[in-house]
Chains A and B, each alone.
Chain A
Amino acid sequence: MTESGTTQPTVQEIIATFKDKPGALLPILHGIQDTLGYIPADCVPDIAAGLSLSRAEVHGVISFYHYFRDTPPGKQTIHLCRAESCQAMGAKQLEEHVKSKLGIGFHETTPDGKFSLEPVYCLGNCACSPAMQIGKEIYGRVTADSFDATITTTEASA
């Protein structure tokens, strides 16, 4: 058994809830990221112990999937689509605008901690390209102006 980590009780509850499901690791990781916003490194030993896996195996899974993160995100995560359909409708120019507006690149968080920026390869909103997602909200036919307006509204409501 791995030594017990310093993770919060919520993590233990999540592990206990899912650990007997077949293929429990992804549901556990989703549960933790949904609750904490990321998967802190100190959860890994507890997850490993709960599922009788090695820490390396758990770490390997976390690092394989683009969606899982091991650092806290900003208050809001902006997923900007980089896929072909959005590119055909100006996603590259939009990407440049978004990066300069926020002053950050992909996989970065603004210094004030308000926004994280992540690329995404298709939101399935290809009939309304270019698309982006903020939290669980999806936006279509995004322009530089509509992006700025959305950010202002999101900031105000955050």
Chain B
Amino acid sequence: MSITIYVPCDSSAVSLGADRVATAIAKEAATRGLDIKLVRNGSRGMFWLEPLVEVATAKGRVAYGPVQPGDVSGLFDADFTQGGAHALGLGLTEELDYFKKQQRLTFARIGKTDPLSLTDYVENDGYRGLKNALAMSQEQIVQAVTDSGLRGRGGAAFPTGIKWKTVLNTASAQKYIICNADEGDSGTFSDRMVMEDDPFVLIEGMTIAGLAVDATQGYIYLRIEYPHACEVLNAAIATAYKEGYLGDNIQGSDKRFDLEVRLGAGAYVCGEETSLMESLEGKRGLVRFKPPLPAISGLFGQPTVVNNVISLASVPIILDKGGDYYRDFGIGRSRGTLPVQLAGNIKRPGLVELSFGLTLRELLYDFGGGSASGRPIKAVQVGGPLGAYLPEAQFDTVLDYEAFAAIWAVVGHGGIVVFDDTVNMAEMARYSMEFCKIESCGKCTPCRIGSTRGVEVMDDIINGRNLDKNIPLLRDLCDTLLNGSLCALGGMTPYPVLSALNHFPEDFGINAKATAA
């Protein structure tokens, strides 16, 4: 009987040598005359163990990692194809603490299946949500999503059901579903993983959204920095068309939904939904005024649902198991699960999907294992480049949209970037201003010009010049950005800047000043 060996094709695993490992395994097996079936699965999301090689055994899948090509011959010597003992052996994959303690709903299949196998997808509960949706009225689908309590996972946390309802109730001959796949926040990679490792779940989610609101055209606006995701999505879309899951007669229902991937071109601001739509229309990605809301007048002036990848990828399980099932996870007004991404200076970086309600400390230490460098963790930035920096004193904050808002921070897209005590927070505040300067679309003066002035003020502060004047000036500038910008880029750059200043004043020379003077 042939042995099944799994080597991830996720681009993070590939960036650590997974392709070379797969080649080495195939070659070694051929040399030894062993009959193996090599599956390129998605990643389990335990990136410190990648490339993570798994072997199917009678007891379950056994893991070895991190594996490099040079380890392959030794693994065969140790009979790893039968789950044999080896220094890189980790035991059963799904018994690994990091994995076992998670609650994977949106990521249920990720790492288990071959991303491009529709058979794998359907055998692992795929397209059950669509099947249910096809038997429901549009109002019932929207109600199920509303009942689930799902809120936009891109960062804004707007209730998805309400957005859909607005589009459903706005009459128009043409409506659109846009998937915002412009995942530009540093420290986030959950969208990328969904697209590379389980593309059909996104296609299914978008198809259900189309059915729900009467939209027949979908676009996935994908960032150019994700070439692997682009290839996988296009291949999966082609398969979905071929098998009647997309097109003008979805599974014999007479319902139509077309889907296309459109590439961005390296503009961070295009992750903002109105800027994204301008870009899709072939224009400069300038932010639009709201209202009108995209749900009323969006792409090409038509009613449009714009949802993040994770929001849309969470829809199939909601339609499969019901809104109540999903809502029963989570706390307060943060329902369901959040795929948290641990990144930066952390010992065990990866994807951790859990109900809302864990503390940062549990994530950083129980899952993450502390810093990678072994030094104390000084600060974490949650929610991307526009998220606040949190000091150790705030690590007991519970992961929940409202709890974060209460400490002037954001959960955002669930990315957590860890810094050890070698970081200088004034430098990070300067970087935030510089990033805003580089990425500003230029529409609002506070963001366009304020970010440039912000870099200059930070340079003065870092060089210890005139702090009495420059610190208040920085605060004043942040106040202008916060209140005078149309979108989150200008409006939230003050979060990292001011949180750095407020929590780490010593890095801005404020405590040192008295002695220096």
Task: Report yes or no: B265 in contact with A66, Cβ–Cβ below 8 A.
Answer: yes
Closest to A24 in B: B282
B483-499 vs A, Cβ < 8 Å mask (1 yes, 0 no): 00000000000000000
Set A30, A66, A79: member contacting B263, Cβ < 8 A: A30
Is A151's beta carbon under 8 Å from chain B? no
Task: Report yes or no: B282 in contact with A51, Cβ–Cβ below 8 A.
Answer: yes
Task: Report yes or no: A84 in contact with B385, Cβ–Cβ below 8 A.
Answer: yes
* A141 with B16, Cβ < 8 A, contacts A123-B225, A136-B227 known: yes
* A64 with B342, Cβ < 8 A, contacts A26-B262, A87-B431, A128-B50 known: no
* A128 with B16, Cβ < 8 A, contacts A88-B345, A122-B184 known: yes
Task: Report yes or no: B225 in contact with A128, Cβ–Cβ below 8 A.
Answer: no
Is A104's beta carbon under 8 Å from chain B? no
Task: Report yes or no: A64 in contact with B285, Cβ–Cβ below 8 A.
Answer: yes
Set B341, B372, B423, B431: member contacting A126, Cβ < 8 A: B341
Which residues 51-69 of A have a CB within 8 angstroms of B?
Answer: 51, 57, 60-61, 64-68
- Interchain CA distance A129-B419 in the complex, whole Å: 12
- Chain A interface size, as a band, is 35 or more
A117-129 vs B, Cβ < 8 Å mask (1 yes, 0 no): 0001111111111
Closest to B342 in A: A127
Task: Report yes or no: A124 in contact with B189, Cβ–Cβ below 8 A.
Answer: yes
B162-203 vs A, Cβ < 8 Å mask (1 yes, 0 no): 000000000000000000000111111101100000000000
- Interchain CA distance A127-B418 in the complex, whole Å: 11
Task: Report yes or no: B285 in contact with A122, Cβ–Cβ below 8 A.
Answer: no
Is A86's beta carbon under 8 Å from chain B? yes
Task: Report yes or no: A83 in contact with B186, Cβ–Cβ below 8 A.
Answer: yes
- Interchain CA distance A67-B372 in the complex, whole Å: 32
Residues of A within 8 A of B (CB): 22-27, 29-30, 51, 57, 60-61, 64-68, 79, 83-89, 120-129, 131, 133, 136, 138-141
Residues of B within 8 A of A (CB): 11-12, 14-16, 47-48, 50, 183-189, 191-192, 224-228, 262-268, 279-285, 300, 341-345, 349-351, 372, 381, 385, 415, 417-420, 423, 428, 431, 435, 438-439, 441
What are the nearest 8 A-B pairs in CB distance?
Answer: A25-B282, A83-B186, A67-B266, A65-B265, A126-B343, A88-B344, A140-B15, A127-B47
25 pairs, CB–CB < 8 Å, chain A vs chain B: A25-B283, A64-B285, A65-B285, A66-B438, A68-B265, A84-B428, A85-B187, A86-B186, A88-B344, A89-B344, A89-B372, A121-B435, A122-B183, A122-B188, A124-B225, A124-B226, A125-B189, A126-B341, A127-B350, A128-B15, A128-B47, A128-B50, A129-B344, A140-B16, A141-B16
